[in-house]
Chain A
Amino acid sequence: MIRAILIALISAGTLCSCLPFVSDYATSKKYLVLDSLRKGMPQTEVRRILSAEFESDTTVAVTDGDRTFRVDQYWLPTKRYKIRLYTGSGMNGQQSSSLDQLHEVQIPMLVLFDDGALRYWGTVEDFWQTEDQAVARLAPILDEEFSRAQ
């Protein structure tokens, strides 16, 4: 009996110590979705894959010379943090209580389609830095388009 209680206590302690990692694991797992992207994928398939994990709110068309590209914006979580809100002063017999709120820092990821096929994806900084010159030329246009859209 005592052995069973001890095992239960140790198991509970181990599980509690793992809890902080659970949300991190969930966020980390989202990033695995990016690994399934391949250049040339159809826009519908990319949208199906990404919208299952990431929020998307903007789509724009950008033109470079005589070519028009479609660009979707998704929001990637980069960090999670907890804020504890206190209510009541806890003085003069008032009861104080607290509420934990989980916040997520997100950055925009742009997904570029050329004639309905996936061409490139990443942050605006990635677009500026890519060795793909046709994509890099779009960086200043995207910078302007998406800063206007937000």
Chain B
Amino acid sequence: MLKWILAAIVLSSCTLSPGSQNLLRKGMSQAAVHSVLGLEAFASSKIEVPSDPINRYSVDVYVSDEDAIIKKHVFAFRNDSLLYWGLQHEFMRHPSQIINEIGSTSARIQ
């Protein structure tokens, strides 16, 4: 579970830079998000969302090193369109059940 923290410490130049997320917009494709962030994701995975089995969902996981605290950021896509992004626990407190389920599933992505 702590693998990505250790990886981020070792590869600190490969973490999200502060402010890069301000350029993101809902609806962007996965490729466009990679391009804006200027990095490949630490982990990327297709996921199943139990309350919405019809649409295709995937998540990208990045890490940031803000003020020397390493955090896990999740970017969720529905049919290759950016749906929501934030820290893992921000998905869990969201009012949408779909976003809660994405957060819950992405917690298992290493």
Query: B5 and A25: CB pair below 8 A?
Result: yes
With a CB–CB cut-off of 8 A, which chain A residues contact B88?
34-35
- Given A25-B9, A132-B95, check contact A32 B2 (CB 8 Å): yes
Q: How far is the CA of A122 from the CA of B93 in the complex (A)?
A: 9
Dominant SS among interface residues on chain A: mixed
Query: B68 and A27: CB pair below 8 A?
Result: yes
Interface residues, chain A, CB within 8 Å of chain B? 21, 24-25, 27-29, 31-32, 34-35, 37-39, 77-80, 105, 120-122, 130-132, 135
Dominant SS among interface residues on chain B: mixed
Query: B89 and A24: CB pair below 8 A?
Result: no
With a CB–CB cut-off of 8 A, which chain A residues contact B96?
131
In the complex formed, the residue of A with least CB distance to B89 is A34
Interface residues of B in 59-102 (CB under 8 A from A): 67-72, 87-90, 92-96, 100
With a CB–CB cut-off of 8 A, which chain A residues contact B90?
122
In the complex formed, the residue of A with least CB distance to B71 is A31
- Given A21-B9, A25-B9, A32-B1, check contact A80 B68 (CB 8 Å): yes
With a CB–CB cut-off of 8 A, which chain B residues contact A105?
67
- Given A35-B88, A122-B93, check contact A29 B2 (CB 8 Å): yes
